[in-house]
Amino acid sequence: MLDVLDQEKGLALAETLTEAGERIAAGESVSGPAADRYRAAAADFSDRYAGTYLGKRELRALVANPRLQVYEDPKAFLTCNHDAFTALCNPDLDRARDGGRHTPDRSRCHPACANISRTDSQIAALRAEVARIDADADAGLDPYPIAAREQQRRAHLTDIIRRHDAQCRIRGATMNTPAAAVPGPRDGAALAQLVGEALAHAQGQDGTEDASQTEPSPTPWCAC
């Protein structure tokens, strides 16, 4: 039974990593604290397994590789690049080395987790969700408690979109700048100016929104 479960998990990981490679190859940007790990996992999987037959041995190796633990969470609009030692969904972090949880717990996903990354595709889904919330608000059919909660959620999702756009803009500007002009560790002022310009541009695009909706929501649910 465990062999069957490992094979299913391995096939799911292979599908997720294949899609990750296709998204990156198509030019999609990636944001979040685990963005670099997401890109590295997709590249590593492609180098090791692209075009090969994944038998039982390969699937077991895939499941056992800590660098390739990438899980999509469509309901939360994110990808979990799972690391049991840093996962905030793991209540037993201190015991991770002794057989703690090795897969993400989607019911406990935390917005501040260092394992989160998001692609342009997931941000597009977030924009669609914000549009749905706006349509429901315009219809005015929701009771006040639900409508208020949805507006809190809208502010949270909008902040995620802004941070994605700003982070990807900064990365794009850095990659398109000649190496000699990229701010070095001693050129803090230039780097601060680059970050400030990207954030100001992201905020300016949504400047007509109510100021109360531009602050991150303190709500605990996971649309992290």
What would the pLDDT profile of 61-115 be if each residue is shown by its tens digit?
A: 999 999 999 999 999 999 999 998 889 987 765 554 544 457 888 888 999 999 9
The domain spans of the chain are 127-213
Give the pLDDT band of residue 221 (cuts 50, 70, 90): very low
Pair 150, 142: CB distance under 8 Å: yes
The half-sphere exposure of 38 on its side-chain side, counting CA atoms within 13 A, is 27
Please state, in angstroms and rounded to a whole number, the distance separating the CA atoms of residues 32 and 11.
Answer: 25
Q: In the predicted model, is pLDDT for residue 220 greater than 60?
A: no
User: Which pLDDT value is given to residue 92?
Assistant: 67
Taking CA atoms, 205 is separated from 41, 66, 153, 162, in Å, by: 33, 39, 20, 9
Model's pTM, two decimal places?
A: 0.73
Please state, in angstroms and rounded to a whole number, the distance separating the CA atoms of residues 203 and 208.
Answer: 10
Q: In the predicted model, is pLDDT for residue 130 greater than 70?
A: yes
Mean pLDDT of 28-55: 94
